[in-house]
Amino acid sequence: MKQLLAEYDLACGQLEVVEKEISTVLERIPFAKSILAIKGISVISLAGILGEAGDLSGFVHGNALLLHAGFNLAEASYGKWTGQMKISKRGRSRLRRFLFMTTMSLVMNNSEYQAMHAYNVQVKKMKKMRSIMKLCGKLARILVGMARSGKAYIPHKTLPLLQVVEA
């Protein structure tokens, strides 16, 4: 039992050291501080996104980041037969995972994302996973926009106009 506790303490100490190293590296990135100001985005998730995607200001639009991650839509078709539209998954799987997990964290912790998810599910009658995927796209566009412009996160600008009028 004592050995197990010692191993646990060692692992926690190593994790703290790694998180401090990641924080010091993120401090050197100009737009990272403004992105970390968004409630629900952690140091680890931002580091994972930046590690897989590289410099976000190099992307022309958030949709280019989605394409890089493999979140673009593709249709299975052959001749006259057309199949369903699905996510292509032809991209970086870890970037997809980090975008998805960050979006889930935002839906749990950020009031704007909670409102958008509730609006998509209740008013637009979307399935929950489709709403999450739509919010992944929104997150990608916000991240690239913030990286390119250097501006801070403005919460009321994330909500669609219909939701702003209703609120």
Q: What is the mean pLDDT of the chain?
A: 89
Residue type, 158: T
State the pLDDT at residue 20.
93
Distance from chain centroid for Cα 44: 12
Q: Could you tell me if 99 and 139 are in contact, meaning their C-beta atoms sit under 8 angstroms apart?
A: yes
Residue 150 binned pLDDT confidence (cut-offs 50, 70, 90): confident
State the pLDDT at residue 7.
86
State the pLDDT at residue 148.
92
**What string of H, E and C letters represents the secondary structure of 24-91?**
HHHHCCCCHHHHHCCCCCCHHHHHHHHHHHCCHHHCCCHHHHHHHHCCCEEEEEECCEEEEEEECCCC
How many beta carbons lie within 10 A of that of residue 165, not counting itself? 8
Query: What value does the mean pLDDT take over residues 16-42?
Result: 92
The CA distance from 71 to 65, in Å, is: 9
Domain with 34 in it = 2-166
Number of domains comprising the chain: 1
* Whether residue 84 has pLDDT greater than 90: no
* Whether residue 160 has pLDDT greater than 90: no
State the pLDDT at residue 81.
73
Residue 75 binned pLDDT confidence (cut-offs 50, 70, 90): confident
* Whether residue 86 has pLDDT greater than 90: no
Summarize pLDDT for 95-125 with one digit per residue, the tens. 999 999 999 999 999 999 999 999 999 999 9
